[in-house]
Amino acid sequence: MAGNMGRALISLPAKAKRGDVIEIRAMIAHPMETGFRPDSQGRLVARDIVNRFECLFEGEQVFACDLFPAMSANPYLSFTMRADMSGELVFRWRDDSGALSEEKRRIEVE
């Protein structure tokens, strides 16, 4: 973790029934500097946004998002996944500076 990339919050059910479609919510602290905003001297503040988010289940992509400056600060994403088996979810964010943030969560499917 470096630069503007902050703490990540992830919410998903710890357990799910096989075949259920579950909701996964992920948010990361980041100013999402648009590159259109002037500072107190009137100069534009350089753009630095989270431009890519990915969620993988056992190495396979579940959901991904390309983000633009019109996404709010501390970008929040909610999406769905069909629970077929227990396994590990990986959450990845990348910003304009190249900083990466990664989180892991387990889900038990019965």
Partner 1 sequence: MTQNPSPLPSYTPTRRQMIAAGTGFAALMLAPSAQATTQEMEKAILAFTGGVKPRESRVTVDIPVLLESGASVPTKVSVESAMQGDDFVTSLALFNEKNPQPNVAVFHFSARSGQATAQTRIRLGDSQKIVAVAKMRDGSYYMGAIEVIVTLPACAEDA
Applying CB under 8 A, the residues found at the interface with partner 1 are 21, 31, 33-34, 36-37, 57, 60-73, 75-82, 84
Q: How far is the CB of 20 from partner 1 (least distance, A)?
A: 9
Q: How far is the CB of 101 from partner 1 (least distance, A)?
A: 17
Answer for the pair 76, 25: CB distance below 8 angstroms, yes or no.
yes
Answer for the pair 77, 93: CB distance below 8 angstroms, yes or no.
no
**Residue among 6 and 31 whose Cβ is closer to partner 1:** 31
**Residue among 9 and 76 whose Cβ is closer to partner 1:** 76
Please count the residues of the chain.
Answer: 110
Please state, in angstroms and rounded to a whole number, the distance separating the CA atoms of residues 33 and 50: 9
Answer for the pair 29, 75: CB distance below 8 angstroms, yes or no.
no
**Residue among 84 and 108 whose Cβ is closer to partner 1:** 84
3-state class (DSSP) for residue 46: coil
Q: How far is the CB of 77 from partner 1 (least distance, A)?
A: 5
